[in-house]
Amino acid sequence: MKLIQESAFQYLSVKLPLLGAFLMLAVLVIQWALDFNFIPEQYAPFIIGTVLPALSWVGRKIAQPNLHQPLGFATITAGHSNTDPGAVNGKIKEADLVVNFRNAVTHYLREAGLQVKTDGTGTKNDPLSAAVKLIQGSSVAVEFHMNAAASKQANGIETIALPKDKILAQKLSKAVADVFGSRLRGDKGWIDQSQSARGKLGFINAGGLIVELGFISNATELAAFHSKYWSAAKAVAQVIIEHEKALK
């Protein structure tokens, strides 16, 4: 059995019966103290058995909008596309790896109740032009890539973003690095787009962040990705969830 991770006392369907029970107890105490029956004893079971459930029913019918505000829309996309493999290491394609990561992050976000827009389901991976269009109306947009370098020793996790998203970028990078056992590149995992060798990127200019999940050219980081990407995706999802909660 999985318990709901919240306090039941925030609901009127719980508060009203408790209030009714408290008032009933107060009346009985007053009756006892004054030796005068405001409520005949024969009616007490009726009140307890009918009025309190009725109060609970009324509590369920009263709208509490503040308790039912969904988290915002998150756009979660995978870099490259089905026609653009991205970086390649032998038969391993960047596009395939980041699609798996996108799907895992999306799973955890939806499990937590977050509304998610993606650039495809399963193995589908739409091109950048489609992914950028999804960002409009989103409270956060994250795309996943993997780095590559001529040196097999190049390593580390980074998130490319505008200065306004620096803190979120650092948290996303740290979430991945902690699971994969990798180091953080740039400023604690944040790379200012203006200082990136890639220049201006359409996804970032539209308001998104690009997380580089390590180097596909580095055997150690590639192995860590294969064995731990579900755990890293869960950690990334948690960062996004906490970010969304902070916006409310």
Distance, in Å, from the CA atom of 81 to the CA atom of 93, rounded to the nearest integer, reads 11
Distance, in Å, from the CA atom of 148 to the CA atom of 125, rounded to the nearest integer, reads 20
Tell me the three state secondary structure of residue 101.
helix
Distance, in Å, from the CA atom of 238 to the CA atom of 5, rounded to the nearest integer, reads 15
Tell me the three state secondary structure of residue 227.
helix
189's tokens: 């995992």
Q: Please name the fold of domain 73-247.
A: Aminopeptidase (3.40.630)
Contact 127, 99 (CB under 8 A): no
Residue type, 173: S
State which H helix or E strand residue 141 sits in: strand 140-147
The per-residue pLDDT string of the chain (248 residues; one tens digit each, 9 = 90 and over) reads: 444 444 555 555 666 667 766 766 676 677 666 666 666 666 666 666 676 566 565 656 565 544 444 557 899 999 999 999 999 999 999 999 999 999 999 999 999 989 999 999 999 999 989 999 999 999 999 999 999 999 999 999 999 999 999 999 999 999 999 999 999 999 999 999 877 666 678 899 999 999 999 999 999 999 999 999 999 999 999 999 999 988 87
- pLDDT computed for residue 135 by the predictor: 94
End-to-end Cα distance, the chain:
29
Q: How far, in whole angstroms, is CA 29 from its chain's centroid?
A: 49
Q: Which residues have C-beta within 8 Å of that of residue 131, sequence separation ≥ 6?
A: 75, 77, 119, 143, 203
62's tokens: 């009263």
Of the candidates 71, 114, 236, the one whose C-alpha atom is nearest the C-alpha of residue 168 is 236
- pLDDT computed for residue 19 by the predictor: 72
Distance, in Å, from the CA atom of 200 to the CA atom of 221, rounded to the nearest integer, reads 26
